[in-house]
Amino acid sequence: MLHLLRITSSLKCAKKDAKTTIGINSIENNTVQIVGRPWVYTNDYWEVYFAVIERVKMKFDENKIIVLFLHRIAYYTNNSSNNK
């Protein structure tokens, strides 16, 4: 979480006089959701939003962290008696 704090505090648009909220938001079956919420002016929100995502992804790549996604395989069998 220290990396997330460094990322958010390095943004020029993040308000320096307000505390960034960083913590675990939820724990699910296969995920731990960590959030970082820096205070920004409304006009800067999307710039900061995408900058944080990009920098987190770069930090993951740097540290060879891979995000796995659950996959579900569905098989379809047509057992209809109308098949001729």
For the stretch 1-55, pLDDT in tens is: 777 888 888 888 878 778 888 899 999 877 888 888 888 899 999 998 898 889 8
Is residue 69, in this structure, part of any structural domain at all? no
Does a structural domain hold residue 72? no
Q: In which domain, by residue range, is 20 found?
A: 2-62
pLDDT at 3: 79
Rounded CA separation 32/16 (Å): 28
Does 8 fall in a domain? yes
Which residues in 16-50 are b (16+ Cβ under 10 Å) and which e?
eeeebebeeeeeeeeeeeeebebebeeebeeebee
Count of domains for the chain: 1
**SS3 of 65, please?**
coil
Instruction: Classify residue 56: in a domain, yes or no.
Output: yes
72-83 tens-digit pLDDT: 778 888 877 665
CATH of the domain at 11: 3.30.70.100
Asked whether residue 79 is domain-assigned, the answer is no
Q: Is residue 78 part of a domain?
A: no
